[in-house]
Amino acid sequence: MINSILRFLFVALLLLGVSQTELYGQSTLGVAWDIPGDIDSANTQLQQFHELGISILEIDSPPTSEVWNQIDSLGFNIYGNLNINFPITHTFAQPDSSLVTQIEKNATSYLSQSSVKAIGLFNYGSVYNPAFWKAAVSFAEKIKQAKKLDLYHRSRATPLTDSSVVSFSIVDVPVTPKNFDSLPVSPTNTDSYFHYDPSNQMKPFVRPFKSFVLAVNQSKNNTIFVDSGWLLMMIEEHPQFTDILQSLSSKSEMVFPLPNENIPTPDNTALPMVLLLLVWGTVALHYNSSPLYRKSLFRYFTAHKFFIDDIFKRLIRSPVPAIIIILQNALLLSISTFAIFSILLSPIGQQAFFYHFPRISIVGNSPMSIFLWTFLLVSLLSFLSIIWLYISHKKIKSFTQIATVFAWPLQLNFLFCTGAITFFLASGSGSATLFTILALLLFLISYIFTALDISRFVRSKTKYLFKTIIPYTIIIAGLLGWLFTYDQWMDAVTLALNLT
């Protein structure tokens, strides 16, 4: 009896020990290779990849003949990517001449090489849209007619694939401080292709890669791709990483040793909160330094008729409070749109957005471009609205009167935008979006409120409204209608939102 108990304990301890080593099965290793311009450097890297047990190289442009020869001599399988990024239905349905030339040139080069086993038709496309696949099928058929090769695409998260166009997808697995312990990889019984895509914060660490390997090894016959720049950096910084990769691609089970690492904690950017505090600081300063503002702050809401009559009967009134409020409103709306853009679009979604709308990218592919555009547009529209109302009203003797009536309802955006930033920091994307929409809506209808208020001081109220509110409503409704019905615009925005 005692011997049986001892044997049971020994087996239990042995199993526990094995479980703690976290054994891994064999994986096929691939590298997304950024080919160096120098031939000697390229050949050196190819030799390194070969020694690490890497068997597949994905390239996005054909190399020189010398590099092709080295690839063939080392026995690599090549996945040639046509490097068509973020395509939408319009991309393939109405291709421009430069796209057709790019496809023909790269495809011809790939098809002439025996080491090329698959061709990547596109990266991060509108794969959820049946019309997209219908538009892409003609390009796929032309390549297949030239040579029977597998076609694939790079995808994000969920590998949606039309098998009549492509054979498989390489699925990006984004790894961040927030998700690296619970990566979005679903087990499958078919061949699976995964690309390790760590955020900038996670690139220097080994532990996130271990989590990635654990997640994808739930699948059978999986192929793991890593970026060549990241791989070479890790080999240089972590000498043991070479052994890890070699054993990962071997048939023997292995232990994944980890260095002592402190993974950074996830955090939202502090910029929205800093700017929000700055705005509230200007509100406090304005309140303390301006008796006019202090006395009139709540009158618009609590004694509206008295406030409007007072504005038009007492002509001597400083424009400074109105200007400050208008600028504060522009800054608040800019902070809110910055936050919403950051929370709704992943980094690769932001890349897709600016890829399709490059003119918006005034300071790079970052939410800061959205922040600056919002500030400029809101400020410009505010002052154009005041000028329009002033010109249309013959009895108005001062811009200050219009500006004051226009600015005062915008103070509600202090609350709306504060709510949007608060929910953004708490990762409440739905509530943050709702408060931002309310703030933008208030800004747009403040013109209408102003026109209705000052229409009391004209001879023909109907005529004045036809000169102000009616054309304004038609213009805004027309712009919004165009945005929501323009297929190319909506397809690009939808693609950016879906690249999570």
Tell me the DSSP string of 291-319. HHHHHHTTHHHHSHHHHHHHHHH-----S
Query: Is the distance from CB of 120 to CB of 168 less than 8 angstroms?
Result: no
State residue 18's pLDDT score. 36
Cα–Cα–Cα angle for 394, 397, 401, nearest 5°?
A: 105
How far is CA 48 from its chain centroid? 34
Tokens 């747009």 identify what position? Answer: 444
Per-residue confidence (pLDDT) for residue 1, from 0 to 100: 45
Residue of 127, 10, 9, 107 whose CA lies nearest to 60: 107
Name the band, by pLDDT with cuts 50, 70 and 90, for residue 162: confident
Is the pLDDT confidence value at 7 over 50?
no
Pick the more confident residue, 14 or 25: 25
* pLDDT tens readout for residues 138-149: 899 999 888 888
Residue in 373, 374, 377 with CA at minimum distance from that of residue 385: 377
Q: What is the pTM of this model?
A: 0.85
- Residue 235 C-beta-side C-alpha neighbours within 13 Å: 16
Q: What is the mean predicted confidence (pLDDT) over 66-71?
A: 94
For 145, counting Cβ atoms within 10 Å of its Cβ (0-12 exposed, 13-18 middle, 19+ buried), the class is exposed
Gap between the Cα atoms of 193 and 223, Å rounded: 5
Confidence (pLDDT) at 178: 84
CA distances from 468 to 407, 448, 460, 461, 477 (A): 17, 8, 13, 11, 14
**Per-residue model confidence as pLDDT tens digits over 262-288:** 887 776 678 888 899 999 999 999 989
CB 185 within 8 A of CB 218: yes
**What mean pLDDT do residues 296-318 have?**
79
Between 63 and 2, the more confident residue is 63
Best CA proximity match to 57, nearest among 65, 49, 67, 66: 49
In angstroms, rounded to a whole number, what is the distance separating the alpha carbons of residues 420 and 427? 10
Q: What token pair was written down for 370?
A: 């959205």
Distance CA 357, CA 493 (A): 10
What are the structural domains, with CATH classification, of the chain? 23-248 (3.20.20.80), 271-498 (no CATH)
Sequential DSSP letters for 264-295:
PPP---SHHHHHHHHHHHHHHHHHHH-HHHHH
Bigger pLDDT: 2 vs 305: 305
Percent share of the chain, pLDDT over 90: 48
In one letter, which amino acid is 230? W
- pLDDT tens digit sequence for 168-201: 999 998 898 888 888 877 655 566 889 999 988 8
Instruction: Dump the DSSP string for 17-43.
Output: HHHHH------EEEEE----SSHHHHH
Q: Tell me the C-alpha distance between 67 and 87, whole Å.
A: 30
Most confident of 3-7, 93-97, 187-191, 323-327: 323-327
Region 432-451: what's the mean pLDDT? 94
The mean pLDDT value for 219-236 works out to: 87
